[in-house]
Chain A
C-alpha cells in the first residue's frame, strides 16, 4: 500500500540527502520564517516541509503532479485535515499500546501485535469510509490513485479475514508443535501445527487402535517448569508472532508514510491560510524546461518579509525572459536584497510544487540554486574575509552544473573595487559560459558597468528605484548601473537632522 502523493511513482524520502549548500540557502533566503509558518510549531511538519522545499524537483511533470495534488488540498482542506488526523491518532494510541512489541518474548510480541492489528482495523475502516464519501470530489491524478488504492486494498472481505485470524491467534485451545531430535537429542525444528480435523467415525474413534500418547501435568508450584514450558511455547509461536508483528509494522509504516506524504500539503495549507489573512495573493507558477531562459512575473513579493511584518509588502514586476545575467545595483536599503530573496524563494517554492507569492510567475526550472552572500567576519579566525569568500565560491563551483542558478549578494567586496570587480567578472563570465544563470546584487560599479558596456543581449540591469527627493519606493526597475549607490542619502537621512 503506497500513498504516492508527493511523487507519482515513489515514496517521499524524508531522509534524502539535502544539497550541501542547505545551510546557506536557509540563511540567505530567510527560509526559517517560511518553514515556521508552514509548520506552526509542529516539529514533524517542520522536518518534512524543510526536506520538501530544499529537495527541488527538476522534471516539469513531477512539479505539475504536485501542483495538482496541492490544488485538490486547497479546495478540500477539511477532508485533507481529517485524513491527516488518522495517522495522528495512531501515534497517540501507539504510545499507549505498543510497548510490548519490544520485548524478547514471542508471546508478548504476538499479543502486542495482535492488539495493534485490532486498532489498525478500526483506523483503516475510517480511512475507507472517508474515501467512500469524498473520492469523487478529487480531480488530481495523485488523489484519484490514492482513493482507488484504498478501495481496492481495504475491501470488506479482507477486514473479515483479518479479524478472524486475530481471534485464532489467541490460541484458546493450546499450542500444537511438531519437533525433531537435533544435536544432543535436544528438540529442534519446532513448527507450529494446525490440529488435524477428526474425520474418523464415532465407531473408529471408540474401538480403533489409538496411537500412543504420553502426557504429564506440571506441579502447580513448579515455577521453573512453567517458565520452561513458556519458552517451549515461544519457540513454536516465534514465526507467527513475527508475521503478525510485521503485518502490524507494515500498517504502521503505511500510516507513517501517509503522515509524511500529507505533511507537506498540510504545511502548504497553513501557509496559504496565513497569507490570505495578510491579504497577500498566491498563484500557481508556470514552470518551463531548464534549458530555456524564462523569468517573468507580476506582483512578486518576499514571502519571508511579508510573514515577518505580518502585512502586505511591495511587489515587483519584471520580464527577464531570455536573460542569463541579472545585475542589480542602486540605492542602499532600496529593496535589492529583498528582491533577490523573493526571486530565490519563488524559484524554490515553484520547484517543490508549491504556489508562489506573486500574482503570476513563470520561470525555467534550475538544476540547483546556489547563494553567495557577503558574510560577517569569520568567527573562527581561521581565514581572512576575502579568502573565506573565495573558499565558499570554490565549494559552489565543486557542486554546480549547467542550468543552475547563482544568487550573488554583494560578493567579493572584501577587497578593493578593482580587484573585486576583476575576480567577480572572471567568475561570472565563466558561469555564464557554462549556462548558469546569475543574479548579482553589487556595489562594484566597475563590474556592473563592464557588463553593461559589452551590450550583452542576455543581460538585464536593474536598479533600486530612487525618487528625486532621495526617498525610496523599494521598487526595482530596469536601469543602467550608476556610479553611486546613494550611501550619501542614507548618511543624510541619519545624520541630517543634526545640522
Chain B
C-alpha cells in the first residue's frame, strides 16, 4: 500500500527527519489559510499516488495566500492519470541549492534491505539508472547489524555531503531507516533531499510503500489508506479477499492463482482479445466469493464476456460449477460466459455447466479463443 506524501512526511518527521511539514487542505479557502499561517512563498502540491503530478500541473508555487487560494482552485479537481485531486499539501517553498536521492528498499535479489543513494536528486531514479548507473550507490544492510556508523559515513561521502551537514545527514538516514523498519515498508524514499540556499538539509518530498502482508499488525497505517485513489471495484475486491486489478479490455477474467490469472490474461491477448482485469479469486473459493467476483467484473461496463478458468486441484470442480451457476442467477447483467474447470470432478462440473447453458472449454487456449469470439459478438448473445 502506498502512502500519500503528507502521510509519509508525518512518519519521517516522527523519526527525526528534518522537513517542512506544511498543512493539508481540501478547499481553496483552507489552502489560503494554510499559506497565511506559514507566511512567505508556499508550494501547493496535489496529493495523489500516481507519478508525474508535476508535469500534469499538480504542483505550483504561490507567493501570497491569495495566490495559494487561486493555485489550489486550479489543482483541486484536476484529473491526474485518472485520479481526481481532492487533497493538497501546502508547504513552505524552499530555495534549493543541491538535490539528492535517498531511499531504502526491500531488495529481493540481495536478500537484504538496501540503501539507494544518488547525488542526482529530483529526477526519477529509473532515469538516473538508465543514463548514469555509476551515479547510484547501492548499499545492502547486513541483516544481523543493520545500519552502522560506517554505513552512514559511506553514503554521506558518496553523496559529497558538506562537512557541516554530516551530522544532519546522519539523522536523515537514521530516521529514514527507522521509519522503514518501523512501518514494515517495501520502500521509503526521499526525493529530493535538498540543501537550501541557507544551508539547511531538508526532505522536500517523500514516499513510503508498505508491505501489504505486514499491514495486519499496523492498524494505524491501514487507517491511512486513501480510498479516493482506489478503483471502487478494487476496494470491493480487497474487502472480499479477492486480488483484482482493473484493465482496459473487454474480457473479464476470473481465475484461481496469480500465475494462472496472468497466464489467462496473456492467452486472451494471444487469441486477439484484451483482458478487462486481473482477478485471482484465491484458494478454496466458495459460492459467495465467486458471486462477489462476478459482481466486481460486471461492474465494468466495458466487459463483453467473462472467462472463468479454475484449476480445481484438490477443490472439487463440481462444487465450483454449482457456485458459478448459483452466482450467475443473481447477476443483474447478462454477458456470455466461458467456463473452464479442470481437476477433480471436472466431468461432473462440465455437465453442470452444460445444463446451465454456459460455454465450456477443455483447454485454456480453447477457452481464451471462445471468450474472444463471444466478446466480439453482440452483447447478450450465446
Q: Do A and B bind each other?
A: no
Chain B residues with CB under 8 Å of chain A are none
Chain A residues with CB under 8 Å of chain B are none
